């Protein structure tokens, strides 16, 4: 493929960034709901859901980054396999 990313960590890094943005958006919505007068439970649930999804995404992406750094896979692209003709 000619349009493949050069770094194997690019996907998890974007996941980490998206997770942090989702957590910040959830915190912002939660602060807005708590500062408003009536306080709608749907908005509070949306804020909590965004924070949880963001946290899970950030933790998973961080785990993938750490796993990729600790034990890089040899031969995952087929370039180091013996006997393969490219």
Q: Which phi and psi angles does 13 have, rounded to 5°?
A: -65, -45
Give residue-wise pLDDT tens across range 17-65.
999 999 999 999 888 888 887 766 777 888 899 999 999 999 998 888 8
Give the whole-angstrom CA distance, residue 68 versus residue 62: 10
- Top mean pLDDT of 7-11, 18-22, 68-72 is at 18-22
Mean pLDDT of 61-78: 67
CB hemisphere CA count around 11 (13 angstroms): 7
């Amino acid at each position: 493929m000619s349009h493949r990313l050069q770094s194997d960590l690019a996907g998890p890094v974007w996941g980490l960034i998206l997770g942090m943005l989702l957590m910040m958006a959830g915190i912002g919505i939660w602060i807005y709901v708590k500062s408003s007068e009536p306080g709608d439970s749907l908005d509070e649930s949306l804020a909590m859901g965004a924070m949880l999804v963001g946290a899970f995404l950030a933790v998973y992406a961080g785990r993938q980054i750490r796993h990729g750094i600790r034990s890089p896979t040899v031969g995952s692209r087929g370039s180091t396999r013996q006997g393969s003709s490219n």
